[in-house]
Amino acid sequence: MNNHIKVGMLGIGNIGKGTYQALEMNHDKILETTGFDIEIVKILNRHPEKDRGIDIPKDKYTKDIKDIIEDPEISIVVELIGGIEPATEYMAEAIRHGKSVVTANKAAIAANGKFLSELAQEHQVLLRFEAAVAGGIPILTSLTTALLSNSFSEVHGILNGTTNFILTQMSEFGKDYGEVLKDAQAKGFAEADPTADVEGIDAANKLSILISLVFGAGIRPEKIPTQGITAVCPEDIAFAKESGYRIKLLASAREQGDKLTCSVEPSMVPVKHPLASVNNEFNAVYVKGNAVDELMFYGRGAGSLPTGSAVLGDIIGIARKLGKDSAYDIVPQLRYDSDLEFRGVGESKYYVRMTVADKPGVLGRITTMFGHYDISVEAIQQKTPYECDGERVATLIFILFSVDKSLLTHALDEALKFDVTKSIDNVIRVEE
């Protein structure tokens, strides 16, 4: 058995540094525990002159990817460039050269997981991507090992640390979105261009990967109904708190009968639910299995070392299989063979906040309209009317019993046509 595992790494950004450091810190313990002497022997780095703030021998660097992909001594290639291309092509080339691949690239796996997965199967090597979903949290490993003994009916994740930090701060200090975003950017918890995070795109990529692992269904991230957190107002957060909820950006997928529903959207989570206590930059994944029942995994979903921990865990996992003379394992990690019919967002309870003219009969008109659509109202709250643009208006809040989102959209479109309706201010899913 060859116990010296040589690894080639593509890219030396934040996660690359974390992986390198995690290996430096724990190399000896890994050797002692597993018998594997893991070494990162080459690193693709287009700008070796740039100071990365980490002490790596210069002779490990190469500007030519062929030095890694065509090196017969390298058995594992770690892709940490990010983005869909050229990362996908690099991974494919590595697989074609008989190398197992580890990546933290959610965008590439969400877009091309099927292709890469089948290619790895064809070449009898492994493709691992624990770090692509929820950073350091070992959710993918758990789902594809210890939890294989379950069929799952639902998965919910708080998969983006930036948005969870913003929502937590809004909730704790009553600040508004813009103010907290600026603060998060100053502290380095949000990017200068936060679009992918705050619009839910990052979470949708991760949910797409989870759906394939949990339900065996291939839903491309752009097909997942996705709504970010930019429209969440202090009023919504205050109502949620008063009513025993917290607002979280949930990435959810559920089996409802023979249908699969999913969404990424701000959702009200009951305060007693374990996801409600997941605060600030932390991530969590909650699943419900038919044997294990409820499970939640909590930890750091981003950051150099936590994500590096997941990358290194995948490297060790492949090393252990290489140690048995074949990296290939018959367990397909990504599956796309489900019979479930994809049905978009599906049904749920909803919170609706709207502004109406403060006139007699308004409430009656709106509830009658809901009745026509067969939408039942669980709770109503009317706030004290106030003056706006020379007119008396009032805020109405409804909690609606389970309703299909598209039906609700129709109903709210009709409500908007009433002369008394000033605006539909927000619609937020309510979890039970």
Nearer to a copy of itself, 174 or 274 (CB): 274
Q: Per CB under 8 A, does 204 bind a copy of itself?
A: no
3 state DSSP class of 208: helix
Beta bridge partner(s), residue 137: none
Single out the residue of 73, 85, 294, 341 in contact with a copy of itself (rule: CB under 8 A).
294
**Least distance in angstroms from the C-beta of 61 to a copy of itself:** 23
DSSP-assigned letters across all residues of 44-90: E-S-TTS--SS---GGGEES-THHHHT-TT--EEEE---SSTTHHHH
Q: Segment contacting a copy of itself (CB under 8 A): 51-59, 228-236, 278-286, 417-425? A: 278-286
Contact 284, 274 (CB under 8 A): yes
Nearer to a copy of itself, 22 or 415 (CB): 22
Q: Per CB under 8 A, does 326 bind a copy of itself?
A: yes
Q: Cα 327 to chain center, whole Å?
A: 28
Single out the residue of 112, 119, 314, 351 in contact with a copy of itself (rule: CB under 8 A).
314
Q: Per CB under 8 A, does 281 bind a copy of itself?
A: no
Nearer to a copy of itself, 321 or 343 (CB): 321
Compute how many residues bind a copy of itself; rule: CB under 8 A: 67
Q: Per CB under 8 A, does 214 bind a copy of itself?
A: no
C-alpha dist (Å) from residue 273 to 156, 239, 244, 392, 432:
12, 17, 10, 39, 9
Sign of CA dihedral 320, 324, 326, 331: negative
**Least distance in angstroms from the C-beta of 114 to a copy of itself:** 16
Q: Segment contacting a copy of itself (CB under 8 A): 33-41, 54-62, 191-199, 402-410? A: 33-41
Q: Segment contacting a copy of itself (CB under 8 A): 154-162, 179-187, 237-245, 323-331? A: 323-331
Catalytic site residue 206?
yes
Nearer to a copy of itself, 320 or 365 (CB): 320
Smallest CA-to-CA distance from 82 within 115, 129, 126 is with: 129
Nearer to a copy of itself, 321 or 359 (CB): 321
Q: Which two tokens stand for residue 32?
A: 């002692």
**Least distance in angstroms from the C-beta of 55 to a copy of itself:** 17
Spatial distance between the Cα atoms of 151 and 245, rounded to a whole number of angstroms: 28
**Least distance in angstroms from the C-beta of 375 to a copy of itself:** 33
Residues 6+ apart with CB under 8 A from 240: 171, 246, 247, 268, 351, 428
Q: Segment contacting a copy of itself (CB under 8 A): 16-24, 70-78, 176-184, 414-422? A: 16-24
Q: Per CB under 8 A, does 330 bind a copy of itself?
A: yes
Spatial distance between the Cα atoms of 131 and 241, rounded to a whole number of angstroms: 33
Neighbours of 417 (CB within 10 A): 8
Instruction: Give the DSSP H/E element, type plus range, for residue 163.
Output: helix 161-173
Spatial distance between the Cα atoms of 339 and 61, rounded to a whole number of angstroms: 47
Single out the residue of 323, 344, 404, 409 in contact with a copy of itself (rule: CB under 8 A).
323
Q: Which residues bind a copy of itself (CB under 8 A)?
A: 18, 21-23, 25-26, 29-30, 32-35, 130, 136-138, 141-142, 145-151, 272, 274, 276-279, 282, 289-300, 303, 305-306, 308-310, 312-317, 320-321, 323-324, 326, 329-332, 335, 337
Residues that are catalytic: 206
